[in-house]
Structure 1
């Protein structure tokens, strides 16, 4: 794919739909949307693979992307720079084959670029996760706008979903962490001592391990 293609950062699908990069037509990932959300295929979406409601977008890094080399890093930089006012998340295939490369992409995406990153076992899990995010986004869009204005960051489904992937962190602890560390970058850089004050010693260790040892 030509990563010089402009990114449609302002694409917003209607509720119950998702805008999908044409390259995913016929894939197992898109087939997993059946009965949940309706795909709208478009070409020239650049590095963005999926557009959800509320101007949220998803970039997918496959096992083959990781094994092939560092091209994905240029895509990640373009994705970060082109998102403007959108919320973005990166899904990365973490498999037995790509395990040795995963820590590198995680550090680059989360620590250096400040992106939200979610590991997935493959397209089936990715389809389920994207469906969940699309539904969460739709519910958030219809919530009280005054409440949303004061708690938008805490209720960002993309960020919240990432934090809840940390072992021993449920929704309550995830919200507490994001209240004290409002971005993935700040959370990943928090010291064990600061984390302990929020969620206790055991969970703090899980958080540090998630960002430094995965």
Structure 2
């Protein structure tokens, strides 16, 4: 019960509740450099980070993926332990070594578990994305009045704008067409092209399906 209460705690704006194990990591240093205040917690259950906008994050590292199927058990516990009122996100560290496992991990996270998956190049990129989500929560979003969809909130706008080639206007256009982040992740380039154009469509598709393309 204590673990559940901690997991459901919502930090103040500009703060992140963080698992104690991340204290000396480069990710934390990146968050501090991005103006995020850190609240360390030893009893954060499976999640690694808790954000002000009622979202939680699990970070799956290159080592987690390469080590075997243990990460799958952690992901299942993560999904089962989170409150239904929280949005569950998975940041997947993608490298040359973990490239061969990406498709299998994506299928398990998105299709089997129904979680939102975002590839990141490492802890520095992850800290930038988390900081963007934290600071985005405090900005008024005029588009929220136009729809009741939970997709058009600062968190999801920040996530979609993190994709190369996508700014605010294109992010909003995409979220008007796709009913979930999962659909956007799995969309073919041909489905994206009428919305954002050929170049951006290829960038979006590559971001979700070819995580190491930038390094080739």
TM-score, normalized by length of structure 1?
0.81
Q: Secondary structure at the match of 1:150?
A: coil
Distance 1:139 1:212, change over 3 A: same
Q: Deviations over 1:101-147 (max 9, x none)?
A: 2222122212332322222222222222211111112335xx67973
Show the counterpart of 2:92.
92
Superposed CA deviations along residues 71-126 of structure 1, whole A, max 9, x for unmatched, are: 11122222233241112221111122222222221222123323222222222222
Secondary structure of the residue that 2:88 maps to in structure 1? strand
Partner of 1:17 in structure 2?
15
The SS at the match of 2:151 is helix
CA contact (8 A) 2:178 2:184 kept: yes
Q: How many residues align?
A: 207
Structure 2 unpaired stretches of 5+: 212-216
C-alpha change, 1:15 and 1:169, in structure 2 (3 Å) is closer
Answer whether contact 2:18 2:40 (CA < 8 A) is retained: yes
Q: 1:172, CA displacement in angstroms?
A: 1.5
Cα-Cα RMSD: 2.8
Q: Any stretches of 5+ residues in structure 1 without a counterpart?
A: none
Q: Normalising by structure 2, what TM-score?
A: 0.80
- Does the C-alpha gap of structure 1 residues 144 and 102 become closer, same or farther in structure 2, counting only changes over 3 Å? same
Distance 1:177 1:38, change over 3 A: same
- What whole-Å deviation, never above 9, does each CA across 1:137-161 have from its counterpart, x for those lacking one? 2335xx679738735422242x334
